[in-house]
Amino acid sequence: MLIKVVSVQARMGRRLSLPDMIHVFKQRPDFVCLPEYWLLDDTIADFHRAALRQREFLEYLSRLSEELSTCLVGGTVVTPEGDDLYNSCPVIRQGILIGSYRKRHPVSGEMTKGIRAGAANLLLRVDGVRVGVMVCGDVFHADMFREMRRASADVIFVPTTSPHRPDESIGAKQERDRRYFVDGARMAGAYVIKTCGVGALLGKPLQGRSLVAAPWGILDRIDFGREAGERIMTATLDVDEVRDFRQKLPAPAR
């Protein structure tokens, strides 16, 4: 079974232009992934203000999934529950919300600004494909990939924002990609799609290095010299191939 996935490395707070939407639509993707916190523009000063626009953002993402005729992994939206805030990734299939994942491992900067940790993984079946979701800093926790392995995920989408690291060498970038994404894909026995935002989040500059990883290596990645730019990446993935790989792995640890 072949599936087509589109990873949209987009500028924060800037909704998809009509030319970009046409480009994505023409790919006829099964899945489209957007960056973490993607809809937060420079008028939003904190996560509490972002939460006030939850409904607006979800309505937009729902329309976008319909217009693109796809299953949309909609980046993340700040979701309020009582006095708590969560960094939540909605998964919307042609206008219908089919699942939502709350980031289980917020980074310290999020937690000091009110984001709480979610409690459960998300694994969905979409047209026979087992789809998992992780968000950004979740990838630093190997147990997340092991849980995806036990759930037999075929593809894991990872909406991400990464702080700008002007002094990081290419070698260090390659090592990070190997350690967290290729090794993670190998542990899970699944494809991993990292989708980054560019521009700035709450005033702090970002760098993007979206990529598509398989258990056997990087399949596609934003060039190291173009991490500040927008790009739409398309990949065709063989689900049967990754399932065959996963079946040959040792039984996952409990």
65 found inside a domain: yes
- pLDDT tens, residue by residue, 35-82: 999 999 989 989 999 999 999 999 999 999 999 999 999 999 999 999
Residues forming a β-bridge with 51: none
Residues 151, 153: Cα–Cα separation, whole Å: 6
Q: What CATH number corresponds to the domain at position 115?
A: 3.60.110.10
165 found inside a domain: yes
Torsion-angle region of residue 95: left (phi > 0), alpha (psi -120 to 50) or beta?
A: left
107 found inside a domain: yes
Residues 114, 94: Cα–Cα separation, whole Å: 31
253 found inside a domain: no
Q: Per the structure, how many domains does the chain have?
A: 1
Residues 223, 236: Cα–Cα separation, whole Å: 19
Give me the amino acid identity at 174: Q
Residue 151: phi and psi, rounded to 5, are -85, 0
Residue 113 belongs to what domain range? 2-247
pLDDT of residue 52: 95
**pLDDT tens across the length of the chain (254 residues):** 999 999 999 999 999 999 999 999 999 999 999 999 999 998 998 999 999 999 999 999 999 999 999 999 999 999 999 989 999 999 999 999 999 999 999 999 899 999 999 999 999 999 999 999 999 999 999 999 999 999 999 999 999 999 988 889 999 999 999 999 999 999 999 999 999 999 999 889 999 999 999 999 999 999 988 888 999 999 999 999 999 999 988 876 66
pLDDT of residue 252: 67
Q: Residue 101 in contact with residue 133, Cβ under 8 Å? A: yes
181 found inside a domain: yes
252 found inside a domain: no
pLDDT of residue 116: 96
173: burial class by Cβ within 10 Å (0-12, 13-18, 19+)? middle
pLDDT of residue 249: 82
pLDDT of residue 88: 98
41 found inside a domain: yes
pLDDT of residue 166: 86
161 found inside a domain: yes
pLDDT of residue 253: 63
